[in-house]
Structure 1
Amino acid sequence: MSNIDIGIGEKDREKIADGLKCLLADSYTLYLQTHNFHWNVTGRLFRELHLMFEEQYTELATAVDDIAERIRTLDVVAPGTYKAFSELSSIKEVEDVPAAEEMVRILTQGHEQVVKTCRDVLKAAQDADDESTAALVSDRMREHEKTAWMLRATSQ
């Protein structure tokens, strides 16, 4: 870490960045799943889900960049390999191509997991008076809660 003075101590920056690394890994894993499902969805809901998944992975692509840049702003190296993401993510990869309804269920669970990860990072950011990270994570949490709701609504 270099000499930066943004009002957050080194230990707090490292703790927050560790949480953000998990959030980045969860978000990137969810991005890959969503993109995969976009490519491979079939069935009567094809068009609706194909377009919905595209909106979701596009939004996630921006999110991973924002999260990685916040990690760098805290003067910590952002992870950027499949191996690192696999070790850090609490979202497990899907090996097969599930049916459309199962895709919706898997993605719903993924978004809900990201919300839980956000809550952990938010607490660390709030404890360190890191309003910038708290705002980013709060925005992410709101987006994932809304997306999970929209996915749940398609399966009713």
Structure 2
Amino acid sequence: MSKKEKSTNAIGLDAGKTKELADKLNGLLANYQIFYQNARGFHWNIKGQKFFELHVKFEEIYTDSLLKIDEIAERVRTLGATPMHSFSDYVKNSSIKEIKDVSDGLLAVEEVLKGFKVLLEKERVILDLSADADDEGTNSLMSDYISQQEKLVWMYSAYLAK
């Protein structure tokens, strides 16, 4: 076996760089899991004048987050690592904190924006690392997430008149 074969993973990427990427992706996964659960709580508990529109929006957020959670976990596997899969690990490794008992729509939207900020910061770090590792699969995923979320940040900020 050549030195190059020893230092690359099954998809031909540098094993050391993909280990770091998988670790960062696991951190992102943990944050998405908490973000997802928070959005579910907002969806279930929202009250007030904007109930109907926010109820739908929070469902859109958690549905999209659930898809991203699966994509991230599968990307971790593709890179040759094991995705985090216990809620205790998610809570311990997430910068996004659990939000409980929020029924005020404006407060919930503010929390969504805080969550997007954390996700975007983490995705940009992964984007840089994946570019350095020539990992187009992860790079493309992060690029797509970032462009989608930047638009959502604009829209939710406009909703709050920020």
Q: TM exceeds 0.5?
A: yes
Rounded Cα–Cα distance in structure 1 between residues aligned with 2:10 and 2:63: 34
The CA deviation at 1:98 is 4.6
1:112/1:145 contact within 8 Å kept: no
1:47 matched to 2:86? The reply is: no
Rounded Cα–Cα distance in structure 2 between residues aligned with 1:82 and 1:9: 30
Aligned ranges for residues 117-128 of structure 1 at < 5 Å?
117-128=122-133
1:30 matched to 2:35? The reply is: yes
Q: What is residue 104 of structure 2 aligned with on the other side?
A: 99
Q: What is residue 109 of structure 1 aligned with on the other side?
A: 114
Rounded Cα–Cα distance in structure 2 between residues aligned with 1:107 and 1:68: 22
The CA deviation at 1:96 is 3.0
Q: What is residue 147 of structure 1 aligned with on the other side?
A: 152
Rounded Cα–Cα distance in structure 1 between residues aligned with 2:107 and 2:62: 17
Structure number, greater radius of gyration: 2
Gap regions ≥5 residues in structure 1 = none
TM-score using structure 1 length: 0.93
Number of aligned residues: 154
Gap regions ≥5 residues in structure 2 = 1-7
* 1:124-145 deviations in Å (ceiling 9; x for gaps): 1111111110001111112221
TM-score using structure 2 length: 0.90
Q: What is residue 12 of structure 2 aligned with on the other side?
A: 7
Rounded Cα–Cα distance in structure 2 between residues aligned with 1:111 and 1:100: 16
Residue 129 of structure 1 aligns with an amino acid whose one-letter code is: D
Rounded Cα–Cα distance in structure 2 between residues aligned with 1:30 and 1:145: 16
Residue 158 of structure 2 aligns with an amino acid whose one-letter code is: A
Rounded Cα–Cα distance in structure 2 between residues aligned with 1:119 and 1:70: 16
CA RMSD of aligned residues (A): 1.3
Residue 65 of structure 1 aligns with an amino acid whose one-letter code is: D
Q: What is residue 5 of structure 2 aligned with on the other side?
A: none
The CA deviation at 1:5 is 3.0
1:58 matched to 2:63? The reply is: yes
Residue 82 of structure 1 aligns with an amino acid whose one-letter code is: F
Give SS of 2:34's match: helix
